[in-house]
Structure 1
């Protein structure tokens, strides 16, 4: 009897150990499945990130024509890029790379930003401006301070000479900026576009700035001019230089279109292979206002 009891107890103990081992094995299998699934998801995420690397400032580029559909097409944040210049925005609208509907909103924002920038400078250097001007806010003469904010022609420069000056300077800017953004024409290394665009502006200013201060940007001139008109410099900001104020407003837009047309005719139409068209760094919208640069790269891979 005792032998049977001992045998039955041993059998129960063996069954309990077997069940415990089976339970542990099941837990291990579930844990392994979870780890493998998580690892695979991480690998897929890493592969997707490799297909669409993050872009700094200017790497997004637009492909002309319809884009191929992809069920794995990534979404991109709807930021605006870095136009900053109404002449650049106008050129992109003219080329069909930016929606015309957005143009007035961009222009208003750019002029407002320049206005606020001028107000900030005036606030920060108010004492220096008043000291230099002898307590007066003047537009012309040896103590003029309005030129801190907007461009005015040199004494020797005629009105139409100023128009030619601004057209040439802005056309040179657009040719260089489009070249920096053309992926089919040895583009600038990713991340260096802002530095190179700044260098282009510096070179244009050094070589072409003596005539009237190289506006190149209608918002950069009109916004501060409106500020000086309101802040105390008066109506002379519009009458000085034989009514100079309209020249940096109109001639820069004409120059931008001329520079864009030159680059299109001389460089871009001669590209043999289809690919993303040139555009200023940071501008990656198609005609419908959608960002397409990263999806083009993803579909290419």
Structure 2
């Protein structure tokens, strides 16, 4: 009993309360959580992806390793791990977009707030740049040996961080290669985030992402490096330009970086989502299912979504 003659149970029920901001930092952190979720998610993607690129390729040089550490399948698995774990890191906070194409498609077709799109894009780009910088800091001595001299930097090792097409491919083919990869990615992402299409349980969505990226890499990876994510290519490309690779990383094949990994990915992703919504999706979030004039007169509408935080599939701890 206290001086108010309240038992501990009564005191707690009357005076204890929940606050989202137990201290000053919690209040500062709140508006940063979604952006930092995207930064960390993409950073994880790039750490595993460019890290396995460096390990497999650089270990083939004498003086770096006694034998090559991995093969092409290792690269596929490394990128798949990065993609799935990146979604796991950011899924419950930001929705686990980790890709500007995903963010744009959710804004176009699922009602994701347009005001958040620039924030997500900048966060994804920064996360990719940061992840690539950390991998470069870890492997730059091995890069010196592989290149044949301290500070020597060529596109041969720049390709460990960003994508560069096979020499035999014409420009239209490189565009289509990235278009096709992004088409597959977004088609599956929209399918697994559709409540009425047998989505996986929330905890298994990263596993689906692992299988998806592994499959894309194994089937379509070697010609253009399957960027299928503008931030995944542009962030590391900016990093390589800053650490000594120079303007060649942007001048390669007449600004290849713009019209293949960026425009090809956006076009492929948007096309996939448009096709999915035309033929499969029945929720009212998509403009494809906007009620006609006759339906509006009767106050009729399509069903609302039951899972707005695609593609990660985790239940959000806040309202978008």
For Structure 1 versus Structure 2, the TM-score category normalised by the shorter chain is 0.5 to 0.7
- 2:137 corresponds to which residue? 123
From 72, 75, 79, give the equivalent of 2:93: 79
Given that 2:161 and 2:237 are in contact with CA atoms closer than 8 Å, whether structure 1 keeps it comes out as yes
What is the CA–CA distance in structure 1 between the aligned matches of 2:179 and 2:237, rounded to whole Å? 20
Given that 2:162 and 2:232 are in contact with CA atoms closer than 8 Å, whether structure 1 keeps it comes out as yes
Quick check: 240-249 or 276-285, which moved more?
A: 276-285
Higher relative contact order (CA 8 A, sep 6+): 1
1:177 corresponds to 2:189: yes
- 1:20 corresponds to which residue? none
- In the TM superposition, residue 275 of structure 1 has moved relative to its aligned partner by 4.6
Q: Cα 1:96–1:275, aligned 2, differ >3 Å: closer, same or farther?
A: closer
What is the CA–CA distance in structure 1 between the aligned matches of 2:281 and 2:110, rounded to whole Å? 15
Task: Trace 1:70-109 onto structure 2 (pairs within 5 A).
Answer: 79-109=93-123
What is the CA–CA distance in structure 1 between the aligned matches of 2:166 and 2:101, rounded to whole Å? 23
From 265, 268, 287, give the equivalent of 1:252: 265
What is the CA–CA distance in structure 1 between the aligned matches of 2:137 and 2:192, rounded to whole Å? 36
What's the secondary structure of 1:184's corresponding residue?
helix
Equivalences, count: 218
What's the secondary structure of 2:94's corresponding residue?
coil
From 151, 154, 157, give the equivalent of 1:138: 154
User: TM-score scaled by structure 1?
Assistant: 0.65
Given that 1:167 and 1:251 are in contact with CA atoms closer than 8 Å, whether structure 2 keeps it comes out as yes
What is the CA–CA distance in structure 1 between the aligned matches of 2:104 and 2:314, rounded to whole Å? 12
Specify the structure having the higher radius of gyration (Cα): 1
- In the TM superposition, residue 241 of structure 1 has moved relative to its aligned partner by 2.9
Q: Cα 1:80–1:270, aligned 2, differ >3 Å: closer, same or farther?
A: closer
Q: Cα 1:239–1:89, aligned 2, differ >3 Å: closer, same or farther?
A: same
What is the CA–CA distance in structure 1 between the aligned matches of 2:205 and 2:312, rounded to whole Å? 6
- 1:237 corresponds to which residue? 249
Q: Cα 1:284–1:166, aligned 2, differ >3 Å: closer, same or farther?
A: farther
4+ residue runs over 3 A deviation: 269-275, 282-285
What is the CA–CA distance in structure 1 between the aligned matches of 2:93 and 2:256, rounded to whole Å? 35
1:111 corresponds to 2:125: yes
What's the secondary structure of 2:137's corresponding residue?
helix
Given that 1:80 and 1:283 are in contact with CA atoms closer than 8 Å, whether structure 2 keeps it comes out as no
- 1:193 corresponds to which residue? 205
Task: Trace 1:1-301 onto structure 2 (pairs within 5 A).
Answer: 79-135=93-149, 136-139=152-155, 144-246=156-258, 247-269=260-282, 275-276=305-306, 279-282=310-313, 291=319
What is the CA–CA distance in structure 1 between the aligned matches of 2:179 and 2:205, rounded to whole Å? 23
Q: Cα 1:214–1:112, aligned 2, differ >3 Å: closer, same or farther?
A: same
- In the TM superposition, residue 256 of structure 1 has moved relative to its aligned partner by 1.1
- In the TM superposition, residue 237 of structure 1 has moved relative to its aligned partner by 0.5
Q: What are structure 1's unaligned runs of at least 5 residues? A: 1-26, 39-56, 58-77, 293-301
What is the CA–CA distance in structure 2 between the aligned matches of 1:157 and 1:262, rounded to whole Å? 28
RMSD between aligned alpha carbons?
2.9
What is the CA–CA distance in structure 1 between the aligned matches of 2:315 and 2:173, rounded to whole Å? 35
User: TM-score scaled by structure 2?
Assistant: 0.62
Quick check: 89-98 or 214-223, which moved more?
A: 89-98
